[in-house]
Amino acid sequence: MSHPCHVHDGSGIAPISGQVIDLYRECYAAPPWSETPEQLDAYPARLAAVTERAGFRAMTAHDDGGRLAGVCYGWPTPAGLTGGGLYDALVETFGAATVAAFTRDAFEVAELFVRPGSQGQGIGRRLLTRLTAGWPAAWLITDPHKPAAALYRKLGWREAGQLPAGFYPGARLSVYALDGRHGPAVTPESRSA
């Protein structure tokens, strides 16, 4: 099973958005994430909004039967850290100078999910690696206790620190960073005064 990867921009993901939404529900309704019906119902609007972001890019993989097996997407982090409460939480937690340093010229990975029956076949690794290829740095957030975190650590991503409790219902999320620039570690202790 080769699971070839395909790249999409915002308009290119639109024709398969229904498949992406269905796959998201399949991946996030069950453990380990167990999102609420309200969270799952909010995803289609979130997906539509993020495909409009500057530089949106997605990678998809399909199984041998043509069914969507995995999705990974994100965008370049905006220089002014505009566009959402996540950036405010990062600045509050790590300090503006530290956040600016690790997000400068970085690709922000917003989502990576693989059909449960297709996990363990290298799909997530290929999608993530290809999506972030060519970027000097990349970052994402996840729960360090969920299985995906093991993949990130295996690929050289480092846990940079936790977001505030309550940022995401039911999980304590951490920032993971991949920095080819060998910049300063991102920790609350490196926060500027």
Instruction: Tell me if 28 sits within 8 A of 35, measured CB to CB.
Output: yes
* Residue 95: count of CB within 10 angstroms of its CB: 17
Backbone angles phi, psi at 179, to 5 degrees: -125, 105
Instruction: Tell me if 99 sits within 8 A of 84, measured CB to CB.
Output: no
Report domain extents, the chain: 5-190
Q: What is the bridge-based pairing of β-strands 68-76 and 174-179?
A: unpaired
DSSP lists the bridge partners of residue 177 as 139, 158
DSSP lists the bridge partners of residue 140 as 176
Q: In the structure encoding, which two tokens stand for residue 91, read together? A: 């600045």
> What average pLDDT does the chain have?
87
DSSP classification of residue 76: E
Q: In the structure encoding, which two tokens stand for residue 113, read together? A: 């999910």
Percentage of the chain exceeding pLDDT 90: 59
| Interval 29-45 mean pLDDT | 92
Integer Rg of the chain from CA: 16
More confident residue, 192 or 141: 141
Per CATH, the number for 5-190 is 3.40.630.30
DSSP lists the bridge partners of residue 57 as 74
Q: How does pLDDT run across 62-96, given as a tens digit for each residue? A: 988 889 999 999 999 988 776 668 888 888 888 88
DSSP lists the bridge partners of residue 7 as 59
Within 27-136, strands assigned E span 57-62, 68-76, 106-114
Q: How does pLDDT run across 7-22, given as a tens digit for each residue? A: 999 999 999 999 999 9
pLDDT of residue 75: 96
pLDDT of residue 147: 87
Cα distances from 112 to residues 14, 22, 27, 88, 124, in angstroms, run: 17, 14, 10, 22, 7
